[in-house]
Structure 1
Amino acid sequence: MMPKKPKSQRPKVKPAPSPFDSLPVEIVVGIFMHCLPEPRMIDPMNRALAPRLLMRVCRGWRQIASSAPLLWYRFRVKLNEPVWNGLELTAILERSAGLPLHITLYNPIQTASIKRVGHLTALSRYCERISHLALDMSVSAFDAFDAYWGKHHEDAKFSSVEELSLPEIYQPVSLTNTIHIFTDASRLKRASLFAFTPQLVAFPCANLVRFDGRAYTIQELASLFFATPNLTECTIHLDLNPINPGLLALPITHTALQHLRVSGNWYNGTAMSDVLLSWNFPALQSLEIQHGVLGEESDRVIASFAQRSLMLQQLSLNIPPRGMTEFVRSFYTPFPSLHTLTVRHISYGFLEMFFEAFAVDSTFLPGVSVLHFPYMDCVIMLTSLMKEAGPGILKRRALQPSDCALEGLVVTSEKLPAGMNFKGLGEGMPKEGLDVLRELRKNGLNVSITWNTVKESSEFVF
């Protein structure tokens, strides 16, 4: 056995240079950002997720972290009891290298008092760079923040804010004073006000293209549409309690609106139908009618949109709690441009009525080429239905070479039925039903069954 040589006599082997050493810092930063599992997990204001931890690894990582503005432009700022002082926040803001800032101001304590702290003073000097602003706090804290900002930072204007999200309050809000800190936000394009109405929060509405609101009355919605001529996308929750019969038929027209999602409180289905029958959106391309809206007169409501919104391409509906026959009958209404229909909260009885008409009558949803059922149990219902009624209930309509041929059947879900894992999904279906789905896929029908979760999206393999 050969004796070991002393370390001083051993040949020194130089480590091979890393290929990353020859790349520009910008490219290395791009590779690093691409490898992050979720960019939103990086938060400069969080000690566990801060990019400054990278700067402690070595000089190379410090150079990468300090040269990556995308690591420093999005963060949350605690109003009271700050994690960082004003100097540290200033250093973070400088590393963002002039990028538009995405900032969330939050107050975990349900208190109305706002302390005068250094990090808010530092933030006020960068107000004009804030393009996305979200406020996560109680109503009283929001009211107090407005008073605090107007008193201590009156000259700091949120003039560059393009996207604004107010506290997620879903009940009607009552404030003693109107919020004025956003009156200079002339670039505002997207606003999520939740239960705060434009009357409670003063801000320019003329350039809004997207709006999200909750617990709005008919009058408030009419005022909103009147003040937003460029609005193209709107999500609204209507509150008709108490019902004012004199306002139910208030005509509302908007010529630019293209995408609408509407829900309501189920106090009176007839009253909600009267409201929707008075709406006119000629440029509408997608419509999603959620819970608490459709009632026994669903056929009249759907027919009204079909006649007034001739550009409607995507329609998403919740099955009403009553009036199933009228709901299915509404699909005989001709939609000139409709190609995708989504139906939620389905039952076996609905599928049976729906496909009995769909399979044999070309006047039933004649232009629809894609059916979407966001409910995993629908797969088992469909295959059971085809076992009882025969495979032709889908095949006859799917394989005919005409304008009313079905091209796609999509089933998605956020969770699987109880006691079933995704890999064993086929075990819950009749074999005959699976054979029909396989045959339809071979003949060109795009049948897809997808299970979506936060972490992954999987597709059933036939």
Structure 2
Amino acid sequence: MPASPKVANTAPTVVVENDIEIRLELEALQTGKSREISTLDSTQTTLEPSSHTPILTLPPEILSEIFLHFLPPYPRTPPFIGKYSPTCLILVCREWHSVAISTPALWWGIQLGFNFRFVPLQKAGIALAQLWLDRSGCLPLSIFASDMESYDAFPIFDVLVPHCHRWEHLTLAINVYEDLHAIAGLTMPILRTLDMLLEIEDAIDSPLILHDVPLLRSVVLEDNGEGRNLELPWSQLTSLTLESLLVEDCISILRETPNLVKCTLQLTVSRTTEDAYPDISLLHLETLVFEKDFCDVDVQFFQSLITPALLHLELPEPFLGSSDSDCVHSLKAFASKSRCMLNKLRITKSRSTEGVYRDAFPDIHSIIIIPARL
């Protein structure tokens, strides 16, 4: 049977909690958080049950709702310790502790960025992650697992994988080939967003398939390596961000994403020079953002995109050309080929004035020019 949203507080759990909290508080003191700890101590003294603390007379359901507004809104994940962490709430008094650990929605966002200096604290962090997973009951999960420098040494996937059926929003930084394989074969029936940073140095020979994700609609993929063979259900995506990919790798992916509504590209220069690229039809695309300069030849990649539904276009001016006339010509050629009716145009790193684009495109409602830094 699925775990109850109300997690019981047994005596052994209390011992584990106290041990973990003490370890984490020690690390907080060593990283300059003594002021926060001091504040919590004074608050605890103030909020002991008495007639002068009316908040303690509130029903647990109301207090629980107040606690939920203390955290970052889901799917953002709170830190394990410090400001905006539910751990702050359980340290105030016995009543708050009881309400907090009985509120699963306080624990369904888990941030696993372990930068602790000492091995015992790293192990305590993983134990605390398990505790949060237990407290979250059967709710969906938002997992933020980046900055994992101690990844190889500690079995974090052993903690996370048993809950993969509850993953709804997943952010991963992966630098070990085996870890990528660990998630490739999983069934994630409610996963909606995937943000993945690949920092694996070696090329991937065998295909890594992630297809059992029927609700996946949004992917952010940053790949700092080469020779990838990653298969995602591209055709079902409506939002896609590609970072640090080669232009030709991006083209291969975009050919398989006919249902995109939003696309953000931050690519690296192609290995080869092309005079022209094959056309790519993105018939439902409404927002297209380029976030990095390209060499001049890659304006042809921009011209290859067919986007008749496009409303919002953002790109750096150097990508379009070296002169006002070149930039205007590139944009007009793109709009004419796609037959799109732009509503918003945002040009970054611009050396032209707004008037240049306003005169050339009088029908665009909003034109924003961000000047280049001198």
- Say yes or no: TM over 0.5: yes
Which structure 1 segments of 5+ residues have no match? 1-13, 349-462
Q: 1:335 to 1:204 in 2, by over 3 A?
A: farther
Indicate if the aligned counterparts of 2:196 and 2:221 stay in contact, CA closer than 8 A.
yes
**Structure-2 change in CA distance of 1:181 and 1:57 (3 Å):** farther
Match of 2:136, as an amino acid? S
* Correspondence for 1:273 among 286, 299, 302: 299
Q: Once the two structures are superposed, what CA deviation does each residue of 1:117-138 show, in whole Å capped at 9, x if it has no partner? A: 3x5333221111011111134x
Report the Cα distance in structure 1 between the residues aligned to 2:143 and 2:373, rounded to whole angstroms. 44
Aligned to 1:91: 131
Pick one of 78, 88, 97 that aligns with 1:62: 97
What corresponds to 1:431 in structure 2? none
Q: CA separation in 2, counterparts of 1:27 and 1:53?
A: 18
Whole-Å Cα distance in 2 between the matches of residues 235 and 31 of structure 1? 37
Larger Cα Rg: Structure 1 or Structure 2? 1
Q: Which of the residues 281, 286, 290 maps onto 1:253? A: 281
Whether contact under 8 Å (1:264, 1:291) holds in the other structure is no
Which letter maps to 1:251? D
**Structure 1 counterpart of 2:192, from 162, 168, 181:** 162
- Which amino acid in structure 1 is aligned with residue 311 of structure 2? Q
Query: What residue in structure 2 maps to residue 447 of structure 1?
Result: none
**What is aligned with 1:190?**
218
Is the Cα–Cα contact under 8 Å of residues 71 and 86 in structure 2 kept in the other structure? no
Report the alpha carbon displacement of residue 191 of structure 1 after superposing the two structures with TM.
0.7
Letter matched to residue 192 of structure 1: V
Q: CA deviation at 1:320?
A: 4.9
Identity of aligned residues (%): 22
* Aligned mate of 2:360, from 325, 333, 342: 333
Q: Which residue of 2 aligns with 1:352?
A: none
Q: Summarize deviations over 1:185-206 as a string: whole Å, max 9, x none.
A: 2321111102379953222112
Aligned partner letter, 2:320: L
Residue number in structure 2 paired with 1:360:
none
Q: Deviations over 1:48-91 (max 9, x none)?
A: 87534532432211123113323211113368964338765443
Runs of 4+ that moved beyond 6 A:
none
Please, what TM-score do these two structures have when normalized by structure 2? 0.70
TM-aligned CA deviation for residue 235 of structure 1 = 0.5
Partner-residue secondary structure (3-state), 1:303: helix
Partner of 2:180: 146
Q: Which residue of 2 aligns with 1:125?
A: 162
* Corresponding residue for residue 315 of structure 1: 345
Classify 1:41/1:97 alpha carbon distance in 2 versus 1 (closer, same or farther; 3 Å).
Answer: closer
Distance 1:89 1:190 in 2: 25
Provide the rounded CA distance (Å) in 2 between the counterparts of 1:27 and 1:110. Answer: 39
1:224 aligns with 2:261: no
1:106 positional shift: 3.8
TM-score relative to the length of structure 1: 0.58
1:28-427 pair list within 5 angstroms: 28-35=63-70, 42-44=78-80, 46=81, 51-77=86-112, 82-84=122-124, 88-106=128-146, 108-109=148-149, 114-115=152-153, 117=155, 120-137=157-174, 139=175, 141=176, 143-147=177-181, 156-167=186-197, 175-178=203-206, 180=208, 182-195=210-223, 200-246=229-275, 248-267=276-295, 269=296, 271-290=297-316, 292-296=318-322, 297-307=326-336, 308-320=338-350, 324=352, 329-334=356-361, 336=363, 338-345=364-371
In 1: Cα distance, 2:182 partner to 2:153 partner: 8
Superposed displacement of residue 149, structure 1? 5.7
Deviation of 1:314 (Å): 0.8
1:311 alignment partner, SS class? coil
Q: What is the Cα deviation at residue 301 of structure 1?
A: 1.4
Q: What is the CA deviation profile of residues 80-126 of structure 1, one whole-angstrom value per residue up to 9, with x for unaligned ones?
A: 96433876544321321322111122464388xx3573x53332211
C-alpha distance in structure 2 between counterparts of 1:192 and 1:71, whole Å: 26
Higher normalized contact order (CA 8 Å, seq sep 6+, divided by chain length):
2
SS in 2 for 1:245: coil
Structure 2: which 5+ residue stretches go unaligned?
1-48
Give, as a single letter, the amino acid of the residue that structure 2 aligns with 1:182.
Answer: L
